[in-house]
Amino acid sequence: MTQDNNAHVKLISKPENMLRTVYTACRTCYSADSPLNIYDCDSAHDEEKMLKLIKRVISSGHYSTIEHIQISFAISNISRACSHQLVRHRHMSFSQKSQRYVKEKGQFEYLTPETIEKNSELKEKFDNFMRKVSEFYIELTEAGIPAEDARAVLPNAAATSMVASLNLREMIHLANLRLCTRAQKEIRMLVKKMCGELIKEEPWLKDYLVPKCDRLGYCDEDKSCGRKAVRVQ
Amino acid sequence: MTQDNNAHVKLISKPENMLRTVYTACRTCYSADSPLNIYDCDSAHDEEKMLKLIKRVISSGHYSTIEHIQISFAISNISRACSHQLVRHRHMSFSQKSQRYVKEKGQFEYLTPETIEKNSELKEKFDNFMRKVSEFYIELTEAGIPAEDARAVLPNAAATSMVASLNLREMIHLANLRLCTRAQKEIRMLVKKMCGELIKEEPWLKDYLVPKCDRLGYCDEDKSCGRKAVRVQ
Amino acid sequence: MTQDNNAHVKLISKPENMLRTVYTACRTCYSADSPLNIYDCDSAHDEEKMLKLIKRVISSGHYSTIEHIQISFAISNISRACSHQLVRHRHMSFSQKSQRYVKEKGQFEYLTPETIEKNSELKEKFDNFMRKVSEFYIELTEAGIPAEDARAVLPNAAATSMVASLNLREMIHLANLRLCTRAQKEIRMLVKKMCGELIKEEPWLKDYLVPKCDRLGYCDEDKSCGRKAVRVQ
Amino acid sequence: MTQDNNAHVKLISKPENMLRTVYTACRTCYSADSPLNIYDCDSAHDEEKMLKLIKRVISSGHYSTIEHIQISFAISNISRACSHQLVRHRHMSFSQKSQRYVKEKGQFEYLTPETIEKNSELKEKFDNFMRKVSEFYIELTEAGIPAEDARAVLPNAAATSMVASLNLREMIHLANLRLCTRAQKEIRMLVKKMCGELIKEEPWLKDYLVPKCDRLGYCDEDKSCGRKAVRVQ
């Protein structure tokens, strides 16, 4: 599999009453009315009205109101290099396939970086290499080495899978950081797919699931990729 | 309102596919199969089978798998004393009615502690007191003092409301701590109602939404309330 | 006490080897050398060199490197209104004076908002009011009402104290939000004092402990206070 | 290097006034006195007295008071498999050597699992394998593949290093989980060394830096290692 296009991503869970819940949260802060009355009022059935308020609150940076929404993704066909980056987002929840407990029986799956994929000679060597790793791994486990130790030979390219959950505030933060061209291509493509899955369900989120430079109005990295100019200070 | 019985609590949001999501998360850790395949397999439609696995995983203390489920409550008629305790749970998300932005127009609502409620003489004085506080608050705001400053006179008894969200791991933790008789009665009753709302929807959670002594098998406080003996060390 | 000037704030703890620890963390990410060697190298004794690197890393938004530094403040003479705002910073750690366990014996201390302080007539009424609250509180406790219930009558103005700890990343975030003129004056003055205490020890942090508009280059609120213009989009 | 004994661990930072800070935090909750007065009182210079209080508070499970203390470790010679486990502790802060930015020039360092180390035939094959991985990695980088992609071939055994910080509450939690024999040996030995470093400085922490069964009084895993019996329910 090519690393950069093959992440499988599916949104498997989002809250019932998503908009209504955020809308109720936003209005509760500024209203003499109880959240339950707000939740049951006419406006809480008027999608356009709710969206208008929610967008204004998010634009003002009052992100705590969107923490009430958590979504879950089933993710597979990403490399362990990529998952090591993803799990560094400490506001997320993960259940990842364990290399301690799941023993590889045949050739393990792996992801090929695009730069290697494009070079047919290197690509062939890469595939041969992965075959040899697999043979050695199986030799080790057949010699009685437990999976948790045999995995010492498995490469960063090895595929992994996980269920990952995060709230909307963290989802926007994740997009801001990982859609930036400074992020490695594999995680950038993964996060792009996560955003795509979510936008399919909630198109209004499109404006927020963007690289950080779109949010800031300038690039805050040392060098810009050209999308936005570096801030002049 | 009596403080101890009058919290209004309603579960306003939980994830679609709650059991299936947790089930998929649990099995992803130990399976060669992808989370998407697990999510779509026959077992993920067999509630009994899913529950059996989920209960075993929770009993083993592998709580990260239940972080994937987040629920939201609309809460009102609790005192500011109670909300100050609740917001100390830092894994929760809150949108609380603001005393800075919501000006009280007439008598503010308040909660009366049970110990005062039961004493008719003190209860009358308490109500009179609250009337006087209200009058002074309104005098201040009418003299041009902004609500954010006039609220300096509002008491801990003043009612507040909020939308509060938390994942299942934190829900169990909250129950463990706040159903203990060491917790103040108002928050104990509030959390009991939150648990009740959730158990109505997900009865299998009943065994986990208990005071911590039920989980530990002993009381870890200095003195026991009698429910479980203090641990002998 | 006037609410706005009287918070007592003292930095009571910071790490040994503060700069060296951050410097080691920053360089570990990009170096073939071990953190221990970096920690022991000549540069890790050259304050100017260390500061140059650390400032560059912070400016690039790589804030995780400054999480290694945690500082602790002893805070007193702030109102419960203010502490309710402060404890909403969920990355901080707090140990706050308990109104459940600490019974007020005489007149409780309280903070007077500046807008009331400036109006001598209202100020006199405010002080009289606080005396009456105190008398009723003491009447309740003498009638056998436990402190945890009698505190129902105590106002938001009542003074509280706490030990509060946070890492440098959260300290900068706290300053960015709470030095903004949108924050209420009492917490703004409190955070200003916290920043002042820290800058006394670590003057180089001055450039980062600023309102968010200084960091962003524009105001992201609905209306600007005039310090920076609202971003044109 | 043998994986199981060779982690290099050094405590590089802890707060000035560690005991006094925790002591002040503990007493602030229950005292009419201000934290600053507590911090300056005679008892706050009496180590024995302070320890007595702190131990009682920790034993009662009031762990928030020890969050005020954060410590930092320089860690090297652990495998990427081990670091992937460690960074899952989301209350910790990490600065880890980047395989994206640090290109390996010669043979990369790696850790050999004990089960392989003990088998001389497998050990020789393991070392040969690592040589071949290194050769292929260097071939890739010399062919112009960037380090961030070439690392796809690097194994879980590859050594990494980091600065890791955590507060005392998380340190006790980390010990409770990772000193359990269910944890993989490499991280168990790593955490043992971290505990050792800390206990050298603060011997009184010895009683808390233990496997969870010592804390609970029973084993809460499916099967016990024999240290404590599984809880009978």
Percent of chain C with pLDDT over 70: 97
Domain final position from B111, B136, B157: B157
- The answer to whether residue A169 sits within a structural domain is yes
For residue C120, pLDDT over 80 is answered with yes
B178 closest CA partner among B197, B156, B195, B199? B195
**Encoded amino acid at B222, one letter:** D
* Tokens (6 digits) for A40: 């049951």
* CA B146 to chain centroid: 31
Same domain (yes/no): C29, C58:
yes
Q: What is the mean pLDDT of residues A6-13?
A: 96
Q: Is D184 in Cβ contact with A81 (below 8 Å)?
A: no
- The answer to whether residue A204 sits within a structural domain is yes
* pLDDT one-digit tens code per residue, A142-193: 999 999 999 999 999 999 999 999 999 999 999 999 999 999 999 999 999 9
Same domain (yes/no): C152, C165:
no
Same domain (yes/no): D114, D151:
yes
Domain final position from A88, A123, A157: A157
Residues of D in contact with A125 (CB under 8 A): 136, 139
Higher-confidence residue: A107 or B2?
A107
Q: What is the mean pLDDT of residues C49-58?
A: 94
Q: Is B14 in Cβ contact with A21 (below 8 Å)?
A: no
Q: Is B216 in Cβ contact with D60 (below 8 Å)?
A: no
- The answer to whether residue C190 sits within a structural domain is yes
The pLDDT of residue A225 is 94
- The answer to whether residue A81 sits within a structural domain is no
Residues of D in contact with B220 (CB under 8 A): 59-61
CA distance A163 to chain D (A): 14
**Encoded amino acid at D2, one letter:** T
Q: What is the mean pLDDT of residues C182-194?
A: 97
Q: Is B221 in Cβ contact with D233 (below 8 Å)?
A: no
* pLDDT one-digit tens code per residue, B175-228: 999 999 999 999 999 999 999 999 999 999 999 999 999 999 999 888 899 999
First-to-last alpha carbon distance for chain C, in angstroms, is: 44
CA distance B226 to chain A (A): 37
Q: Is D111 in Cβ contact with A88 (below 8 Å)?
A: no
> How many structural domains comprise chain D?
2
The pLDDT of residue A6 is 86
- The answer to whether residue B135 sits within a structural domain is yes
Domain final position from D121, D138, D157: D157
Q: How confident is the model at residue C76 (pLDDT cuts 50, 70, 90)?
A: very high
Phi, psi of D87 (to 5 degrees): -70, -5
Closest by Cβ to B81, choosing from C94, C152, C157: C152
Closest by Cβ to A157, choosing from D79, D90, D152: D152
Same domain (yes/no): A173, A189:
yes
Domain assignment of residue D179, given as a range: 8-74+161-216
- The answer to whether residue A187 sits within a structural domain is yes
Closest by Cβ to A152, choosing from D113, D132, D146: D113
Interface partners of D (3+ CB pairs, < 8 Å)?
A, B, C
Residues of D in contact with B218 (CB under 8 A): 217
Q: How confident is the model at residue A45 (pLDDT cuts 50, 70, 90)?
A: confident
CA distance D129 to chain A (A): 8
Tell me the pLDDT of chain A averaged across its residues.
95
Same domain (yes/no): B70, B105:
no
Burial class (CB in 10 A: 0-12, 13-18, 19+), A161: buried
Q: How many CB pairs under 8 A join C and D?
A: 163
Is C178 known to be catalytic? yes
The pLDDT of residue A220 is 87
For residue A113, pLDDT over 60 is answered with yes
The two beta strands, C159-167 and C70-79, are antiparallel
Residues of D in contact with B62 (CB under 8 A): none
Same domain (yes/no): A148, A171:
no
Same domain (yes/no): A165, A60:
yes
* pLDDT one-digit tens code per residue, D60-116: 888 999 999 999 999 999 999 999 999 999 999 999 999 999 999 999 999 999 999
First-to-last alpha carbon distance for chain B, in angstroms, is: 44
| DSSP for residue D94 | E
Q: How confident is the model at residue A233 (pLDDT cuts 50, 70, 90)?
A: low
Same domain (yes/no): B208, B165:
yes
DSSP B92-133: SEEEE--TTT----SSPPB-B-HHHHT-HHHHHHHHHHHHHH
Same domain (yes/no): C170, C153:
no
Q: Is D60 in Cβ contact with B222 (below 8 Å)?
A: yes
A55 closest CA partner among A31, A91, A13, A19? A19
Q: Is A216 in Cβ contact with C216 (below 8 Å)?
A: yes
Q: How many CB pairs under 8 A join B and C?
A: 104
Residues of D in contact with C167 (CB under 8 A): 70, 93
Residues of B in contact with C134 (CB under 8 A): none
Positions of D marked catalytic: 178
Distance of alpha carbon B225 from alpha carbon B227, whole angstroms: 6
**Encoded amino acid at C196, one letter:** G
Positions of A marked catalytic: 178
For residue B130, pLDDT over 60 is answered with yes
Q: What CATH number corresponds to the domain at position B182? A: 3.30.1360.170
Percent of chain D with pLDDT over 70: 97
- The answer to whether residue A232 sits within a structural domain is no
Residues of D in contact with C28 (CB under 8 A): 74, 95-97, 161-163
The pLDDT of residue A231 is 81
For residue A28, pLDDT over 60 is answered with yes
pTM: 0.96
Higher-confidence residue: C74 or B5?
C74
Q: Is A100 in Cβ contact with D122 (below 8 Å)?
A: no
Positive or negative, the CA dihedral D200, D204, D205, D210 is positive
- The answer to whether residue C20 sits within a structural domain is yes
Least confident window among B3-7, C41-45, C84-88, C142-146 = B3-7
Tell me the pLDDT of chain B averaged across its residues.
95
For residue D37, pLDDT over 60 is answered with yes
* pLDDT one-digit tens code per residue, B135-191: 999 999 999 999 999 999 999 999 999 999 999 999 999 999 999 999 999 999 999
Same domain (yes/no): C125, C141:
yes
For residue B2, pLDDT over 70 is answered with no
Q: How many CB pairs under 8 A join A and B?
A: 163
The pLDDT of residue A4 is 57
Interface partners of A (3+ CB pairs, < 8 Å)?
B, C, D
Same domain (yes/no): D36, D139:
no
Same domain (yes/no): D70, D178:
yes
Q: What is the mean pLDDT of residues B51-78?
A: 94
